[in-house]
A = this chain, B = another copy of it.
């Protein structure tokens, strides 16, 4: 998606050729006009699928899931990370490994909000090692719902998540795929759109 790549080139900061910071429009400040364009692009790429719900692990990325849901006209369900008095007793539950925190955490979805009649689009802001996606696919499988696809804002193509998911014949659409960093610049998978 050229508009997104342009924003990454213009405003993204690469830290130590390792971390991409996109605070100014994606994950500290959200540029809602860009979010609308991204939501519409997800709709264009998945509109042939009969989506009934968008699924997302809280917390980051709920904004883009909510805006995308406007175009699909479906509810968003988010998998909860924390145990809460408010959560139903009957849930689908999976364990997700966090590399940053170096431990497993539980994600849960109430059985009331996922059923075998559902056709699910998973939306997330980042895809790296794919551990969160794995957890959410496990929950979808438990519920008997159909996974129609995964929409990602920024895929870190140099990590294995995207490959692992596509190898399982899952329809993954990433609005920007980053193959790496060089001298503080981002290298996109589509070389023509790269700033190099």
Proximity bits, A56-69, B CB within 8 Å = 1, else 0: 00111011011101
A31 in contact (CB, < 8 A): yes
Would you call B87 and A28 a contact (CB within 8 A)? yes
Would you call B24 and A76 a contact (CB within 8 A)? no
Given contacts A59-B62, A70-B36, A112-B24, contact A29 B86 (CB under 8 A): no
Q: Which residues of B contact A29 (CB under 8 A)?
A: 75-77, 113
Proximity bits, A21-56, B CB within 8 Å = 1, else 0: 101100111111101100000000000000000000
A182 in contact (CB, < 8 A): no
Dominant secondary structure at the A interface: mixed
Within 8 A of B (CB), among A111-155: 112-113
Given contacts A62-B62, A63-B62, A66-B35, contact A75 B19 (CB under 8 A): no
A160 in contact (CB, < 8 A): no
A188 in contact (CB, < 8 A): no
A106 in contact (CB, < 8 A): no
Would you call A78 and B28 a contact (CB within 8 A)? yes
